[in-house]
Structure 1
């Protein structure tokens, strides 16, 4: 038997209370009760309250399901856009890539593409940011390994060189005059450079802690390390009219990397 206290306890829950309000509104419209929230009215029409409550839960579940479906679909489209844009930017650069081409690559209308990214510059920034995040995560993985610091530096340079080859057009943009870049791009590349310097500094600190490296000025040598290899990459780009690295040029750059690393290590090892 439903008691007054039991009824009060049931209607105190948010879901039942909402259902009760919905039911009371229906009662009011249909003149079932002169007092929408009277206990007698609720008891008499309790089955209808449960009916409203069940309907409410059904639609709530349906809404959540549809929301998840929309979010998953949006996430898939978002990743597809980034993948298409990355291929276009890496092959043709920022200036020669159009939003129409990116949308066409994945069967998306231009209007739909603008729903996700209002302009090409914003899309470019996201592609570069994702590339930077991926590379930095790989660097962090190297740093957390138990291999010696010298091998970590070698692994870092291998990954950095592969990234340069894949994103050669983006690296070319990085090396343009800072004044010709929008501030957002300049900050993007500068923040990445600072992150690289920080990670190299942590690698050097690890080598010092294991007594593989001399006690040195970590801030100075980590920035020097980054500047050396950035200069080698710059040298490849600045000599070319079109940014397409041949196998010969890439092999030469690898050798230069190895020679520069050997000279650097001789200067810091005990």
Structure 2
């Protein structure tokens, strides 16, 4: 338990440092100094910066899906459950925007593990959407459909819209992202309306 708490403190300190100074300019010594421990003590938990980066990434992914599941469980129907996915996405952008801007597109492109994680997240989101659709069908809210196929169409539509709206920006500014989320929500609502049972 104590080791888990220490690991969490280190990850939180790393997120703050990475967000304010960037990954390349941050050293493990600086993170250790922020925590009031030695670099050797830090190395016991994370032997190098790459290991710490992977832990940061895993924390964010885990946190994202916990929140997605909480929203889905609290939503009274499939429609609000699907729309809440966009709300969670927006809240995560607001929380981690500075970190994403500091990480930068060149770093994301250079880490094959990040690309691999993105694919896993995309697949997990598509599975989540399919489960929400299945629950909506079972409750009579939505008409029968191939939930796997429709979930991929929904996910790909949101992704394509995001790509077109954001353009060449690797990380959009908060205003652009907010506008994009409003538009995505409108598109998602149109699609959901077409899926509703008569």
- Paired with 1:146 and 1:105, the residues of 2 have a C-alpha distance of 40
Structure 1 residue 144 corresponds to structure 2 residue 73: yes
Question: What's 2:140 paired with?
Answer: 211
Contact preservation (8 Å) 1:93, 1:170 = no
Matches within 5 A, 1:1-270: 72=2, 74-145=3-74, 147-168=76-97, 169-170=99-100, 180-235=109-164, 238-240=167-169, 243=171, 245-246=173-174, 248-270=175-197
- Paired with 1:197 and 1:222, the residues of 2 have a C-alpha distance of 6
- Paired with 2:87 and 2:62, the residues of 1 have a C-alpha distance of 17
Q: What are structure 1's unaligned runs of at least 5 residues?
A: 1-70
Contact preservation (8 Å) 1:164, 1:171 = no
Return 147-156 or 109-118, whichever deviates more: 109-118
Contact preservation (8 Å) 2:17, 2:26 = yes
- Paired with 1:250 and 1:82, the residues of 2 have a C-alpha distance of 26
- Paired with 1:173 and 1:225, the residues of 2 have a C-alpha distance of 28
- Displacement, 1:158? 0.4
- Displacement, 1:215? 1.6
- Paired with 1:172 and 1:251, the residues of 2 have a C-alpha distance of 19
Q: What are structure 2's unaligned runs of at least 5 residues?
A: none
| Length-normalised TM-score, structure 1 | 0.62
Q: Which protein, 1 or 2, shows the higher relative CO under an 8 Å CA cutoff with sep ≥ 6?
A: 2
CA shift in 2, pair 1:228/1:104, >3 Å: farther
Q: CA RMSD in A?
A: 3.0
Spell out, residue by residue over 1:220-255, the C-alpha distance to the aligned partner (whole angstroms, 9 max, x if none). 2212222233344445665448x4623x32431232
Spell out, residue by residue over 1:174-194, the C-alpha distance to the aligned partner (whole angstroms, 9 max, x if none). 97798x443332222221221
Q: After the TM superposition, which parts of structure 1 deviate over 6 Å for at least 4 consecutive aligned residues?
A: 171-178
| Length-normalised TM-score, structure 2 | 0.81
Query: Paired residues, what number?
Result: 196
